[in-house]
Every structure is written in structure tokens, then in C-alpha cells.
């Protein structure tokens, strides 16, 4: 499983012109499910995202606080393209990405784990074409894998 985490000032996802998720200060998580991923990996990464100390206690200061600590929001977006292999040719190979139904189950499991934190949470729609609007705070972007 791969997660691209972006610390955001705000973020919103829209499907067919309708907002399906919106947060203020917090993290936006783009989640790609690999064909061999498990619920244990999803749990580990969800908890890791919630507990990473990436928010400063003061402007420009070090990252001492997690999204849990600041009571921030979490927006989760499914993104199978995170498992695109571009090492050969000019067309990405997506065979490492999980098939739709197993991927949907793990994505929903990940979202449930995030929502169980009690933080303001939003999500995209699995498999839909989405428009994601965000203001990256920093910019601050991490790639997490398990």
C-alpha cells in the first residue's frame, strides 16, 4: 500500500461537480492499494498518517504535533495510479495495482480506520473521476509505504 500524504491548509474533492469531502487544516491522503496488500498494512499506514509529527508548534518551527494533536482534518482519496510502473516504455503499467473489488474493500477499511480517530474526515468516491483542490501547506509531501 502506498500513501502520498500532503499537509494542507484546506482540501476538497468533487465528483460530478458535488463535493464529497472537504477539510480545513490537516492532511490529504492519496491511497494506492497493491494487489498483495492486507488489512494489517492498511491499519498500520492509517495509524502512521494520524500520528506523524508534521505540524509545527509555531510558524516555521519543527514538526512536533500530529494531525491528532491539532484536531485537524483528514481527506482520503483513492488513487490506483500510485502503483503505476514507468520504468519501461512510455505507458504506465498498472498490473501491480489491486483489482477493483479487493482495492475497494481495503480503501474503505482504511477510510473507516481514519474516521474512527474522531477527527473531521472526508473522502473521495472509489473508482470515480475526481477533482481534488488543495492548498499544500509548506509545501509538505511524504510518501509512505508498507
Question: Which helix (H) or strand (E) covers residue 44, if one does?
Answer: helix 39-51
CATH topology classification for 2-145: 3.50.80
Confidence check: pLDDT of 60 > 80: no
The phi and psi torsions of 111 (rounded to 5 degrees) equal -60, -40
Mean pLDDT of 42-56: 97
Mean pLDDT of 26-35: 98
pLDDT of residue 98: 97
Instruction: Indicate the domain borders of the chain.
Output: 2-145
Assign 92 to helix, strand or coil: coil
User: Catalytic residue numbers?
Assistant: 79-81
Percent of the chain at pLDDT above 70? 97
Pairing of strands 2-15, 55-56: unpaired
Amino acid at each position: 500500500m502506498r500513501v502520498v500524504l500532503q499537509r494542507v491548509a484546506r482540501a476538497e474533492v468533487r465528483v460530478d461537480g458535488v463535493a464529497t469531502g472537504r477539510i480545513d487544516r490537516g492532511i490529504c491522503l492519496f491511497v494506492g492499494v497493491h494487489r498483495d496488500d492486507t488489512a494489517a498494512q492498511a491499519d498500520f499506514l492509517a495509524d502512521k498518517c494520524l500520528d506523524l509529527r508534521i505540524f509545527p508548534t509555531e510558524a516555521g518551527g519543527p514538526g512536533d504535533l500530529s494531525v491528532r494533536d491539532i484536531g485537524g482534518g483528514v481527506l482520503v482519496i483513492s488513487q490506483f495510479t500510485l502503483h503505476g510502473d514507468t520504468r519501461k516504455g512510455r505507458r504506465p503499467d498498472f498490473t501491480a495495482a489491486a483489482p477493483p473489488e479487493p482495492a475497494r474493500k481495503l480503501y474503505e477499511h482504511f477510510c473507516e480506520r481514519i474516521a474512527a480517530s474522531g477527527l473531521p474526515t472526508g473522502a473521495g468516491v472509489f473508482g470515480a473521476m475526481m477533482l481534488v483542490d488543495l492548498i499544500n501547506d509548506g509545501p509538505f509531501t511524504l510518501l509512505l509505504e508498507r
